[in-house]
Amino acid sequence: MAWTEDEDKKAQSQGVESESQAQSAITSVDNGEMQDEQKQQRLNSPVSSEESEQSQKLWGLLESTLKENLIEKRRARRWKIFFRGLSFALIISVIALVMSDADIAEMDTSSNYVAVIPMEGQIGAGQPIDANVVLPLIDDAYAKPGIQALVLKMNSPGGSPVHSGIIYDAIKLKRQQYPDVPTYVVVEDLAASGGYYIASAADTILVDKASLVGSIGVISAGFEATELLKKIGVERRVFTAGENKAFLDPFMPMAPASVKKWQAVLDETHKQFISAVKEGRGERLTDSPDLFSGAVFSGSQAVELGLVDGLSSFYQLVNGEYKGLDVLYFREDKQPWEEVVKSFGVSVTNTLLESMRLR
């Protein structure tokens, strides 16, 4: 086979073209790889950073949503506890009132009982021991057919001689109207002044050996500040119609005539007090000079002086001579809403405090 020079050049030229095409292919492959790497870098750098930020935002939003949901659940639970406590207190109050009314109704018709009137605190208008409140309670106690005895649980430092005298007279009247129903005063800590005034109307006074009894006297206390006004340079101006109208003014000196008149009022009140005690206690009183001096005596001393009848307690009385009888308390009637509010007080307060602690 003959090989010409022209064919040789053609073959060379084809070889160069082949090499050129191969080089171009290699170059294109290299360029493709570079482009892929650049794409991958672009994917791995800014785009993935943005996705990471978006992912963090998404997780943060999800976390805050879950927290808010948890808080709402806690709030709902607190309110649920609150209303449950409120409802429970209301139910208990209603049940207690119904049972109390049922017990009283049953006693009215079929039971003998000891009537008890608690008397605790100061004596006077608007005070815990108010004659306007106590007298209706006494009437209610005696009006019930099964009464076997009236017991006044006394714990009072005294107060108004007027209200003390009114209650004293009411007890004496009931003793006359119901001679077969004995009246007792059981003293706890204190039966002093007006408290003892009331107690002396009873058939029997019982005390603890450490109780404080007596103080059969009258007191009126005040102060004079006329020199104080002079020191601070203040002049008091008082206009009255009646020369004795301002005789107790602490910023004015008290005239001797006013002192004498006021002392006469106190002495007269003291005489009324002494007379009531003597009428109530009678020959049981001893002839002691300290008896009406305003002194206070212990329970044991009071027994020796005849101010009281013996040492005992309310528990011993109702579980001794009157054992087996029902004990019926007579207290001031209050509006139903007052009782409900009172019963709610502790429960609501505790619930609110518990709610605050859950936050």
| First-to-final CA distance of the chain | 106
Distance between CA atoms of 183 and 185, rounded to whole angstroms?
A: 7
Q: Is 140 helix (H, G, I), strand (E, B) or coil?
A: helix
In whole angstroms, what is the distance from residue 276 CA to residue 218 CA? 14
Taking each helix axis from N to C end, the angle separating 336-358 and 48-110, rounded to the nearest 10 degrees, works out to 150
Query: Which position has the token pair 């006469």?
Result: 264
Per-position b or e across 155-193, b if 16+ CB within 10 A of its CB: bbbbbbbebbbbbbebbbebbeeeeebbbbbbbbebbbb
Count of CA atoms in the C-beta half-sphere (13 A) of 326: 18
Helices marked H in 204-319 — which ranges? Answer: 226-232, 256-281, 299-305, 314-318
Q: Which one from 245, 261, 271, 342 is the annotated catalytic residue?
A: 245
Which candidate, 151, 74, 75, places its Cα nearest to that of 325?
151
Could you confirm whether 193 is annotated as catalytic?
A: yes
How many Cβ atoms from other residues are within 10 Å of residue 350's Cβ? 11
Side chain identity, residue 224 = E
Nearest to 312 by CA among 215, 211, 214, 213: 211
CB 135 within 8 A of CB 165: no
Name the active-site residue from 156, 160, 193, 211: 193
C-alpha 291: how far from its chain's center? 40
Tokens 């054992």, residue located: 323
Name the residues annotated as catalytic.
193, 245
